[in-house]
Amino acid sequence: MDVVKSVYDIFSERGFIEQVTDEELVKDLLARESVTCYIGFDPTATSLHIGSLVPIMALSHMQRAGHKPIALVGGGTALIGDPSGKTAMRQILTRDEIDRNAESLRMQLSRYIDFEDNKALLLNNADWLAGLNYIEFLRDVGRHFSVNRMLAAESYRIRMETGLNFIEFNYMLLQSYDFSYLCKHHDCAIQMGGNDQWGNIVAGVDLTRRLEGKRVYGITFPLLVTSQGHKMGKTEKGTVWLDPDLTTPYEYFQYWINTEDDDVERFLALFTYLPVEEIGAVTKLADSEINMAKAVLAFETTKITHGEDEAIGAWKASVGAFNLRPVSSNLFPSSSIPRHEILQDVSAITTYEKTMKEVETVSIATLLHEVELCASRGEARRLITQGGAYINGRQITSIDYKIGVDDLDENREISLRKGKKKYTRIKVV
RNA sequence: GGAGGGGUUCCCGAGUGGUUAAAGGGAGCAGACUGUAAAUCUGCCGGCGGAGCCUACGGAGGUUCAAAUCCUCCCCCCUCCA
| ipTM score for this prediction | 0.87
Surface-to-core class of residue A142, CB atoms within 10 Å of its CB (0-12 exposed, 13-18 middle, 19+ buried): middle
| pLDDT tens digits, A328-384 | 888 999 999 999 877 778 889 999 999 998 888 889 999 999 999 998 999 999 999
Angle at A24 between CA A18 and CA A30, to 5 degrees: 85
C-alpha of A228 from chain center: 18
Q: Are A293 and A282 in contact (CB under 8 A)?
A: yes
Residue A154: the pLDDT is 78
Is any atom of strand B within 7 angstroms of residue A316's beta carbon?
no
Is any atom of strand B within 7 angstroms of residue A375's beta carbon?
yes
Is any atom of strand B within 7 angstroms of residue A362's beta carbon?
no
Angle at A218 between CA A92 and CA A201, to 5 degrees: 35
Q: Are A359 and A408 in contact (CB under 8 A)?
A: no
- Taking the CA of residue A141 and the C1' sugar atom of nucleotide B35, their distance in angstroms comes to 57
**Which of the nucleotides in strand B have any atom less than 7 Å away from a protein CB atom?**
27-32, 34-39, 43-49, 76-79
C-alpha of A356 from chain center: 39
The CA radius of gyration of chain A, in Å to the nearest whole number, is: 25
Is any atom of strand B within 7 angstroms of residue A236's beta carbon?
yes
- Give the C-alpha separation, A350 to A407, whole Å: 18
Under DSSP, is residue A424 helix (H, G, I), strand (E, B) or coil?
Answer: strand
- Give the C-alpha separation, A327 to A426, whole Å: 30
Least Cα distance to A97 among A51, A45, A137 occurs for A45
Angle at A47 between CA A41 and CA A50, to 5 degrees: 75
- Taking the CA of residue A362 and the C1' sugar atom of nucleotide B53, their distance in angstroms comes to 22
- Give the C-alpha separation, A102 to A127, whole Å: 12
Q: Are A400 and A392 in contact (CB under 8 A)?
A: no
Residue A161: the pLDDT is 66
Q: Are A207 and A175 in contact (CB under 8 A)?
A: no
Closest-approach nucleotide to residue A163, Cα vs C1': B78
Give the residue ranges of chain A where pLDDT is below 50.
1-2, 83-89
Q: Which of residues 67-126 of A touch strand B (CB under 7 A)?
A: 84-86
- Taking the CA of residue A59 and the C1' sugar atom of nucleotide B21, their distance in angstroms comes to 49
**HSE of A268 in the Cβ direction (CA atoms, 13 Å)?**
28
Surface-to-core class of residue A114, CB atoms within 10 Å of its CB (0-12 exposed, 13-18 middle, 19+ buried): middle
Under DSSP, is residue A122 helix (H, G, I), strand (E, B) or coil?
Answer: strand
Q: Which of residues 263-302 of A touch strand B (CB under 7 A)?
A: 287-288, 290-291, 294-295
Angle at A116 between CA A113 and CA A120, to 5 degrees: 50
| pLDDT tens digits, A81-133 | 654 444 444 556 778 888 888 888 999 999 999 999 999 999 999 999 989 99
- Taking the CA of residue A364 and the C1' sugar atom of nucleotide B73, their distance in angstroms comes to 50
Q: Are A164 and A156 in contact (CB under 8 A)?
A: yes
State in Å, rounded, how far the first CA of chain A is from the last one: 63
Is any atom of strand B within 7 angstroms of residue A235's beta carbon?
yes
Strand order in the sheet with A19-20: A19-20, A217-221, A188-194, A36-41, A68-73, A121-124
Is any atom of strand B within 7 angstroms of residue A334's beta carbon?
no
- Give the C-alpha separation, A57 to A64, whole Å: 10
Residue A381: the pLDDT is 92
